[in-house]
Structure formats: C-alpha cells, structure tokens
A and B are shown apart, each in its own frame.
Chain A
Amino acid sequence: MGRWLHLPGAVVARLWHSCSRSTPTLVGRALAATAFVAVVAAGTTAAHGGGSGARGASVQVPLWLFLATGGGVVGASFLLTAFATDRGFVRRLHRPRHTIEVPGVEFLSGAVRTFGVMVLLFVIAVGVLGPDTPDRNAAVLVVWVTWWAGFTASAYLLGDLWPLVNPWRSLASILPSADRPYRWGGWPAVVGLLGLVWLEVVSPVASNPVLLVAVIVAYSGVTLAGAAWFGPIWFREADPVSRVFQAYGHVAPLYRDLSDGGIGARLPGSGLDDPVLDSADDVAFVVALLWVTSYDGLVATRPWRKLAETAIAAGTPPELLYPAVLVAGYVAFLGAFWLAASGGRRFANSRLDADLLARRYAPSLLAIAAGYHLAHYLGYLVMNVPAVMVTVTDPLSPGAVGVWPLPNWFGGVAVGAVLAGHLLAVWIAHAVAYELFPSRVQAIRSQYTLTAVIVAYTMTSLWIVTRPYAPTPFV
C-alpha cells in the first residue's frame, strides 16, 4: 500500500521497539518451555531496538529461535491432531449449530443496501472536496481503516455481509443486464486481485484522496459494465473485491444457509472443511489472496529495501521490479501448494486426483490469510478509530485528529493471530483428511507435505510481521 498506509507495519514496528530489555528470569525460562507462551514472549522481543521503560519481564531470544518456535508450535499441533481420532467427534465439531431467525430481514437488507450506496457517494465526494492530507481526509480513512481493515475483519470474524453492503451490486440490480454467458471462472478475479494490490503498493492511492477517488471511479466503471453485461454472476466469479469477502466469509461463524435462506451459526473456521471450492481457478484465487497479504507486508521491510536497491543498482527498472516479484512470488506460492497437494496424494498412496486434494485443502489457507490480516491490521484499526470519528463527523474541515495509543502488549496480538490462523489451518486439514480417506493413518500421511508448507509459511509470516517498518522504496 502507499506510503501513508504502511502505518500498520509501523505500528507493529513501534511495538517491538518499545519492549523492555531485561535479563531472563527462571520463571521466564520455564514459561519459554511452554511453546505458545514462548512464542508470544519471544515475539515481543525478537526485533527489539532498545528499551524504553523497564516494564514486564520477557525472554530475549535470537530471531532464528523465535521463528523455529513458531514453526515448532504448528508442527506440534499437527502431531497432536493424531490423538483426535474419533471421526464422530471431528464431524460433530464441524456440524452447523443453530439457525438464527432475523426479524424484519427485508427491511434491514434494504436499509443496508441504501447505506452502502450512500457510503460510496460520501467517499467520492469527500475524496474530491475534503482536505488533501490523507490522515485528515474521511474518504481515505473510511476506505482503508473502516473498510479494508475493519469490514474485512468482520467478514472472517462474523460473516460475509458484502453481498448486502456492496454498493455496486445494489446499483447493478437496478440497471438492466444483458445476462450474457460467462465462461472464465475465477481467473479474472485472480488477475484483478494481483492488479489491485500492485496498484496499492506502487501508487500513492493510499495517501492521495483524489487518486483514490479516480481508482474507485475506474473500478466502478469496470464492475458496473461487467455486471450489466454478464449479470450477477460477475460478483460471484470475476469481481476480485467480492471474492475476497466471499473467501473470508468461509472462515466466519455466521453464514447464509443456502438450504433455507436463514442465517446459520457454526464454530469459527469449521466451514472450511466443506467442499467450498469448485475448480482450479478457485484454488488459484485462494492462493493469490494468501500471497498478496504476504507481499503487502514484505515490501515494507528493510530486507526488501536492500534487495530492491541492489536489483535497481544492477539495472532492473523499478516499474518492472514490483510486478515481476508479485507474479514470481505468486507462481512460487501456487507451486508450493500444488506440491503439497500432489505430495499428499503420494504419501497417502491414494487414487484421488491431486486437484481434488488441492480443492479440499486450499480452504485451510483462508484461515492463515485471515490470521495474517488480523495481525497486520488490528492495531492499525484500533489506533485510527478516533481519526475516523473526527473526520466522518466533519469531513470538510475536520478538527484535530489523534490516534489511540496501543498498549505495549499489543504486539503479542499480532504474533498470536498469525499462530492462531496456522493452528486452525492444521486442524482444518485434519478434518478434511478424515473426510477424504477411509484409513485414519492414511489421512494423517496425506497431510505431511501440506503441514511442511504451513510450517514454512508460519515462519515466513512471523518474520514479516516482526520486521521494523521501512518505507517501500522506489514507488
């Protein structure tokens, strides 16, 4: 994301920097033995840059040990799943629990639709007419803080409300539609998602309100044209934004029960062992979502800065560097996941197709992406709540904008969220494997390669979220 929006990274970095330096105590060491605690404690100190204030006793460990512990926690959780062998128990845990009746649902959804369209108009108007400074402009804050940090979090923590809120869907529903046959599956969404993230990283779309409005207007044009030509299928298949929320919605505890149209409630993440992905392009989209969350964090680290400087000194044009790394990283992620799926097939000595395995295991990656998103944005969201309130209530001439300071322990939340996402992913893979294979030992063996990929990914994510913030270079 643009310069200003790199704040989430800055928040995390600031938190690491503010932690205390103290000698390890016996208690600290004993705690360190308990892996989870160790990771959180180590996480808050791994990337410290010196102490301010001497509060809290924490264990000082080198980076490699911190990362290894994170990977170890996920690996240990995989070993622990071997003891959850009762198929009935696994199935019961994942069964939907309740159906909730919502009174006045028609009226409520009409109100939410109207609200969505009004917010879109508000953002466009304030982006053009409001102050130039991004941290005082309500349009910028509503888009990045309320919507991209807050609403996205609500999609995986509560449920996907985007089909209701989506102003473009509401607008398209009152426009005529040609309902032409649509046959590209999710590929346009994959390209669209990579394209939007590239734009967000290389352009000042997060710091320049007018540019932000220009991007929103262009997106509106494409989306409304697509919906008018192909009908509502556009939002289910081709629109990258709708698909992001749809994908995160699979993680959520609340969901739209398609059998009776009511709202179902389930344990968070337990929807991910359903066959929610239909084809290879759906898998490609899930992997793209996971990759862009990492890419977004990666380009705001110092090692990336060094790498970019070296590459550009060697003659790589900066305009090429970012898209090339975006695409290369995506291909690497896709390849790693494909190896995990086909390796699982081989370890399980199964006759199931590797693409079936890929489709069934890919939803577990959504838990990881959600955990990573929360790690990256929760602090940013909480900090900026006052700024949003001040600017939204007086968008054209907002008063003094402040931030809520975050407590020191907040950095542990990021590490905890990353770990929780990966632990959930291991559990989902376990439940899926039990559904796929008749032998439970075979089911466990099928997860070897996927678990290895998840452990590698845990360590990468922890490394990224604990890097101090460095402005994205050459953009």
Chain B
Amino acid sequence: MTDQTRDVDGAVYRCEYCCRAFNREDWLALHRGLDHRAELTPEERAAYEDAEAVEQEALRMYQYKALAALVVLYFGFLMLFAFVRTV
C-alpha cells in the first residue's frame, strides 16, 4: 500500500494456526481469513472483515493509478507513433 506505515519497526505478527509471520497486523488478519477460514473465532472474523475493507479501499486507489498509467502509456505511444519521423 502506498501509505505504508510499518507498525513498530521489527514487530512481527505471527499466525497462531500456521506460525507464518507478517510485518503488519492487517496482513495477518487477511491471512487468517483466507487460509484458516473454518477455524476463525468471531473476533478474528471481524478483524478479517475490517482488514478486507481497508484492503479493498487501497486496491481501488491502486487501480485508479494503474488506469492513469495506462492512459498515459496509450496516448504516449499514440503521440509517438503519430509524430516520430518515419524511416
């Protein structure tokens, strides 16, 4: 994510189900929801849903930027092809 704030430098969030470590708490919450869906406690489920909402928002932002980059790329090439002297 672009506004990446690492929680505390070096902090590790470890999954209690599979021991996989993450640098951010919301990534751990997402991981639990994706890979251990059947075993979640109600609190973990709520944390997953919150993290997913935040992720969705960040993804939407990223997609706007990707769209902007695609437009620049497309018209950039359009201009190049139109104006570059032909050999």
Taking Cβ atoms with an 8 Å cutoff, the residues of A that contact B are 23-24, 29, 32-33, 35, 38, 59-62, 65, 68-69, 72, 75-76, 79-80, 82-83, 85, 87, 349-351, 437-442, 444
Interface centre among A68, A80, A83, A441 (most CB of B within 10 A): A441
Judge whether A29 and B22 touch: CB under 8 Å.
no
CA distance A61 to B28 in the complex (A): 50
Point out the residue from A65, A72, A440 that lies within 8 Å of B59, measured CB to CB.
Answer: A440
CA distance A424 to B27 in the complex (A): 28
Q: A438-B30, A441-B58 are in contact. Are A79 and B69 (CB under 8 A)?
A: yes
Taking Cβ atoms with an 8 Å cutoff, the residues of B that contact A are 1, 4, 6, 12, 20-24, 26-28, 30-31, 34-35, 55, 58-59, 62-63, 66, 69-70, 73-74, 77-78, 80-82, 84-87
CA distance A87 to B30 in the complex (A): 13
Point out the residue from B22, B24, B77 that lies within 8 Å of A38, measured CB to CB.
Answer: B77
Closest to B15 in A: A438
Interface of A is mostly: helix
Judge whether A441 and B55 touch: CB under 8 Å.
yes
Task: Give chain A nearest CB distance to B65 CB in angstroms.
Answer: 9
Judge whether B87 and A349 touch: CB under 8 Å.
no
Judge whether A440 and B81 touch: CB under 8 Å.
no
Task: Give chain A nearest CB distance to B81 CB in angstroms.
Answer: 4
Q: A79-B70, A349-B24 are in contact. Are A61 and B62 (CB under 8 A)?
A: no
Judge whether B81 and A61 touch: CB under 8 Å.
yes
Residues in A with CB closer than 8 Å to B84 are 61-62, 65
Task: Give chain A nearest CB distance to B29 CB in angstroms.
Answer: 8
CA distance A69 to B6 in the complex (A): 37
Residues in B with CB closer than 8 Å to A351 are 12, 20-23
Point out the residue from A33, A59, A437, A439 that lies within 8 Å of B78, measured CB to CB.
Answer: A33
Judge whether B23 and A440 touch: CB under 8 Å.
no
List 26 contacting pairs A-B, 8 Å CB cutoff, sorted by A. Answer: A35-B77, A38-B77, A59-B81, A60-B86, A61-B84, A61-B87, A65-B81, A65-B84, A79-B69, A79-B73, A80-B70, A82-B59, A87-B34, A351-B12, A351-B20, A351-B22, A438-B30, A438-B31, A438-B34, A439-B1, A439-B55, A439-B58, A440-B55, A441-B1, A441-B62, A442-B1
CA distance A377 to B18 in the complex (A): 47
Residues in A with CB closer than 8 Å to B59 are 82, 85, 440-441
CA distance A293 to B84 in the complex (A): 33
CA distance A376 to B66 in the complex (A): 33
CA distance A62 to B83 in the complex (A): 12
CA distance A438 to B13 in the complex (A): 13
Judge whether A438 and B22 touch: CB under 8 Å.
yes
Judge whether A76 and B73 touch: CB under 8 Å.
yes
CA distance A92 to B20 in the complex (A): 25
Task: Give chain B nearest CB distance to A445 CB in angstroms.
Answer: 8
Task: Give chain A nearest CB distance to B75 CB in angstroms.
Answer: 9
Task: Give chain A nearest CB distance to B77 CB in angstroms.
Answer: 6
Judge whether B81 and A32 touch: CB under 8 Å.
yes
Task: Give chain A nearest CB distance to B14 CB in angstroms.
Answer: 9
CA distance A65 to B55 in the complex (A): 37
Judge whether A29 and B82 touch: CB under 8 Å.
yes
Residues in A with CB closer than 8 Å to B6 are 349
CA distance A32 to B81 in the complex (A): 7
Residues in B with CB closer than 8 Å to A350 are 23
CA distance A82 to B34 in the complex (A): 19
Residues in A with CB closer than 8 Å to B35 are 438
Interface centre among B4, B28, B55, B86 (most CB of A within 10 A): B86
